[in-house]
């Protein structure tokens, strides 16, 4: 895994989402990322990140915590493949993912 | 309003070409069938390895469809990516849909996966030819910003029908590859006008490599795909001889590796210099009769 960094986060609290089908948004391309959102039996929100940009753990923590505070969602698992997206792009993709599952029944 | 096919992601293109809501994906991202090679190189994988495959309806008819994502590794065909394409094609042999559509956007073999990718592409070619030989229409829709190059460029020409937009590109070696190997004097990859008139959709269509030329618009690609469902070409000896004649005529016209402008003139395109400024509708009447007679799709 040389060159890549794996980060794992878990946030507690928030409202459990209604059942939804997994959704994928974004693309693993330079300055971009893909976000896969799936339902989870856990009550919280787990977010796993694979990123090609090492050393940005605190920034990911801040961006993902902000995401969880804004949406307050639980019962989901988020997996991210990142190729150096900026924090703003990450936030937009996460919002897009929530919009995608809101609009799609299982 | 038009929706640029080139600007879309693979999944957006797929959704725009097939009947709304009809796509059923096989090995979806949640299955996490990803490349076993990229992590070893420290490169993030994609959940779908850069290609979505599945079953859908187009104009109410059942098709199998694949869409390559050019944003991920330039659409490069790795081991898993290639295996998904091969699996789709082999399943088509069993289930016999009306057609197999490939929304191609690829630089060819994914170099990170070297031999595995090369083998994968050759397997895709064989599987596609098997499907075509079985009488199932095979359709390549080429409209992504990354074009269709390398091994996928060859795969494209194995199909019954090749649809391209004017801003799409199709070739074997990409412009940068040629320049790296032979120098900017041979091919200047930064000369965009040169690149497009040598690899672009208009050139391919005028020469007969591309069967249907459309605007860079998702609805135009969908309409072309519906028409192509019935455009099956049995691969007969006569078909191959026609293809050979078309290539020979082009080689004769291009004996001195002339610029595309010169080649078009020799093939009989009127006012060849004006071609880059014409849209698809304006260009359509200018296809050389010799090419139209031999190429699939006619004038």
ipTM for this model: 0.90
- The tokens 């994988």 sit on which residue? B45
Q: Which residues pair with B2 in a beta bridge?
A: none
Cβ neighbours of residue A30 closer than 8 Å, sequence gap 6 or more: A83, A84
CA dist A48 and B204 (Å) reads 45
- A38 to chain B: which residues are within 8 Å by CB? 30
Report strand pairing: B161-165 vs B212-214.
Answer: parallel
Neighbours of B299 (CB within 10 A): 12
Q: Which residues pair with B51 in a beta bridge?
A: B68
Structure tokens at B28: 């979806």
For every residue of A14-79, DSSP letters joined together read SEEPPP---EEEE-SSTT-EEEEEEE-SSSSEEEEEEESSTT-HHHHHHHHHHHHHHH-EESEEEE
Which of A25-29, B119-123, B270-274, B291-295 comes out lowest in average pLDDT?
B291-295
The alpha helices in B49-113, defined as continuous H runs, are 79-95
Nearest of B262, B239, B17 to residue B129 by alpha carbon: B239
Say what the pTM is. Answer: 0.94
Closest residue of chain A to B45, computed from CA coordinates = A81
Which of A40-44, A81-85, B50-54, B135-139 comes out lowest in average pLDDT?
A40-44
CA distance A76 to chain B (A): 13
The H or E element spanning position B240 is helix B237-253
pLDDT one-digit tens code per residue, A66-100: 999 999 999 999 999 999 999 999 999 999 999 99
- A79 to chain B: which residues are within 8 Å by CB? 47
Neighbours of B278 (CB within 10 A): 15
Q: Summarize the confidence of residues A30-57 as an average pLDDT.
A: 94
Cross-chain Cβ contact B47/A36 below 8 Å: yes
- B29 to chain A: which residues are within 8 Å by CB? 22, 24, 34, 36
Calculate the average pLDDT of chain A: 92
Does the pLDDT at position A42 exceed 80?
yes
Strand order across the A23-26 sheet: A5-11, A45-51, A76-82, A33-39, A23-26
Asked if A10 and A47 count as a contact pair (C-beta separation under 8 A), the reply is yes
Nearest of B3, B92, B106 to residue B56 by alpha carbon: B92
The overall longest dimension of chain B from CA atoms, in Å, is: 54
The alpha carbon of residue B233 and the mean position of all alpha carbons in its chain are separated, in whole angstroms, by: 17
């Amino acid at each position: 895994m040389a060159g890549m960094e794996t980060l794992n986060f878990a946030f507690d609290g928030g409202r459990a989402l209604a059942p939804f089908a997994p959704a994928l948004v974004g693309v693993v391309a330079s300055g971009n990322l893909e976000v896969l959102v799936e339902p989870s039996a856990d009550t919280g929100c787990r977010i796993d990140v694979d990123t090609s940009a090492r050393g940005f753990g605190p920034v990911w923590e801040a961006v993902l915590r902000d995401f969880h505070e804004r949406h307050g969602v639980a019962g989901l698992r988020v997996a991210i493949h990142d190729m150096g997206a900026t924090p703003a792009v990450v936030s937009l993709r996460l919002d897009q993912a929530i919009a995608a599952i809101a609009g799609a029944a299982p | 309003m038009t929706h640029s096919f080139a600007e879309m992601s693979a999944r957006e293109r797929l959704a725009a070409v097939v009947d709304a809501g009809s796509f059923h994906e096989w090995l979806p991202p949640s299955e996490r069938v990803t490349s076993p090679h990229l992590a070893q190189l420290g490169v993030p994988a994609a959940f779908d390895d850069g290609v979505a495959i599945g079953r859908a309806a187009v104009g109410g008819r059942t098709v199998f469809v694949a869409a390559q994502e050019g944003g991920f590794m330039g659409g490069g065909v790795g081991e898993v990516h290639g295996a998904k394409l091969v699996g789709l094609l082999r399943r088509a042999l069993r289930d016999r849909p009306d057609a197999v559509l490939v929304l191609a956007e690829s630089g060819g073999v994914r170099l990170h996966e070297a031999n595995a990718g090369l083998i994968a592409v050759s397997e895709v070619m064989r599987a596609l030819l098997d499907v075509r030989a079985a009488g199932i229409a095979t359709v390549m829709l080429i409209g992504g910003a990354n074009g269709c190059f390398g091994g996928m460029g060859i795969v494209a020409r194995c199909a019954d029908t090749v649809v391209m937009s004017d801003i799409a590109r199709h070739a074997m070696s990409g412009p940068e590859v040629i320049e790296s190997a032979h120098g900017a004097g041979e091919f200047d990859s930064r000369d965009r006008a040169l690149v497009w008139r040598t690899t672009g959709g208009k050139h391919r269509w005028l020469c007969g490599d591309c069967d249907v030329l459309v605007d860079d618009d998702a609805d135009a690609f969908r309409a072309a795909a519906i028409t192509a469902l019935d455009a099956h070409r049995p691969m007969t000896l006569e078909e191959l001889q026609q293809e050979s004649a078309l290539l020979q005529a082009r080689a004769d016209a291009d004996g001195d590796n002339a610029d595309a402008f010169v080649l078009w003139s020799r093939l009989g395109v009127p006012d060849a210099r004006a071609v880059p400024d014409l849209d698809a509708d304006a260009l359509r009447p200018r296809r050389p009769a010799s090419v139209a007679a031999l190429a699939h799709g006619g004038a």
